[in-house]
Structure 1
């Protein structure tokens, strides 16, 4: 088997694995409601496979440097969400999504110009989330109409994630860890939520899903910081596992807090 054919087959296998992962997550999300769906959406559904395959192809130092570049990109993602949530209350999908994507691309272009330290990346997240979470709070509650899944919804999400994995894997060797880390955090899941749900149920209900994702996305940023530190100390496998455990533990904590708040809010019989 030629080297090129071997690479192509291995790349297709990686894309298929990533697609299967996002299909499973998408089905669980659709059956769980907006709050649980938002928590699942902030798990590393798209970035996770990208980083796993980066760890297979590169050493721990490469993964650590990529995570360091990804950390401030997480702040760009919450600013993208805020842009969409505010504009989608009154504007069309094209205006809302187009503006949100422009914000993310603009922020990512600025981020790639600098060498980020862990402290600077964490500070960027704290500032961005400190501003965005209070502003998003008023948009978290909206009447959610029944969503009928179309035949192309899940394949489209799977194709987006598979494409992202293909780009990261095939370009990482020549673009380096910084650009790879930025590409790996392109918000595929949030993008698919906007594109799929907005035309079907309207802007405000779609915005509610993203607004509920803010706290989960903050935990995702913490997981990226854990990944950066852990891969240096314990290696890529342990670092990836600890980062995933951070995401899961954070979202389970959010879910538990929400459940307790709901019980207290219910009137006594």
Structure 2
């Protein structure tokens, strides 16, 4: 088998695996309500597969440098979320999602001009969360209507995620780790969810899902920082496992705190 055919077949397999994983996770998110849906959507269900496939093709140093580039991009994604939440209150899906993606691209382009350190990324994330989290609060409490799935939902999501994986894996053979890390964090899951849900349940209800994901994005950023710090000393497999565990444990803690807060009034009564 020629090297080119081997690469194409392996790429197709990776695209299929990533697409199946993300579609399953996003369907669970839709059926779980705004809060649980947001916690699932902010897990690394798109970036995770991209990084796994990068780790198969590259060494731990490449993964660490890619994660360093991804860390400030997490702050950029927070402004993607805020832009969508604000636009969705008044505009249709095309304008709302398109406007949010334009903001992401513009900020990601500016981010590429800065030589980031881990401390710089931490400051960028802290600023983004300090701005966005308070602004999300007024948009979080919207009653979620029943969601009816359309025939094209699964193929559309699968195509979007598979395309992202193909771009990340293919370009990583020629571009720097920082470019790979930037592309890997393109908000494909958030974009696909908002684009599909917005026409069906309305902008405010879809925005509530995104607004409830603010704290989950903090755990996602923590996972990226862990990946950067542990990839070289522990190896890619252990680092990716620790990064995933960081995201999962953080979101489980948020879920537990939310349930405890909800149960407190009834306990007092």
The alignment covers a number of residue pairs equal to 269
Give the corresponding residue for 1:55: 55
Structure 1 distance, partners of 2:37, 2:126, is 24
How far is the alpha carbon of 1:166 from its aligned partner?
Answer: 0.5
**Aligned position for 1:186:** 186
CA-atom RMSD in angstroms = 1.1
Report the equivalent of 1:122: 122
Distance 1:232 1:156 in 2: 36
Matches of 1:75 and 1:259, distance apart in 2: 27
Q: Is the 8 A contact 2:219 2:246 kept in 1?
A: yes
**Cα shift at 1:27:** 2.4
What is the distance in 2 between the residues matched to 1:268 and 1:146?
32
Does 1:249 pair with 2:242?
no
Per the TM alignment, residue 87 of structure 1 is displaced from its structure 2 partner at its CA by 1.5
User: Is residue 223 of structure 1 aligned with residue 223 of structure 2?
Assistant: yes
Structure 1 segments, 4+ long, off by >3 Å, are 266-269
Q: Are 2:206 and 1:206 equivalent residues in the alignment?
A: yes
1: distance between equivalents of 2:116 and 2:26? 33
TM-score normalized by structure 2? Answer: 0.98
Distance 1:73 1:149 in 2: 31
CA distances 1:100-128 after superposition (whole Å, capped 9, x unpaired): 11110000001111221000001100100
Higher mean C-alpha deviation, range 251-260 or range 193-202: 193-202
| Correspondence 1:81-120 to 2 at 5 A | 81-120=81-120
What is the distance in 1 between the residues matched to 2:172 and 2:18?
17
1:70 aligns with 70
Equivalent-residue separation in structure 2 for 1:44 and 1:255 (angstroms): 17
Contact 1:39 1:251 in 2 (8 A): yes
| CA offsets 1:186-235 (integer angstroms, 9 cap, x no match) | 00111011100111111100000000000001110010000000102101
CA distance in 2, matches of 1:171, 1:36: 34
Contact 2:26 2:193 in 1 (8 A): no
8 Å CA contact 2:74–2:185 kept in 1: the answer is: yes
Report how far residue 96 of structure 1 moved: 1.6
**Cα shift at 1:144:** 1.1
5+ residue gaps, structure 2: none
Secondary structure at 2:176 match in 1? helix
TM-score of the pair, normalised by structure 1: 0.98
Distance in structure 1 (CA, Å) of the matches to 2:106 and 2:236:
30
Could you list the runs of 5+ residues in structure 1 that have no partner in the other structure? none
Post-superposition offset of 1:98 = 2.0
Q: CA deviation at 1:268?
A: 5.7
Asked if the contact 1:54/1:169 (under 8 Å) is kept, the reply is yes
Query: 8 Å contact 1:26–1:154 — kept in the other structure?
Result: no
* Cα separation, 2, equivalents of 1:257 and 1:144: 21
Distance 1:21 1:95 in 2: 28
Cα offset, 1:94, TM superposition: 2.4
Deviation at 1:266, TM superposition (A): 3.2
Q: Does 1:135 align with 2:135?
A: yes
Contact 1:23 1:158 survives alignment (8 Å): yes
Correspondence for 1:15: 15
* Preserved CA contact (<8 Å) 1:39 1:216: yes
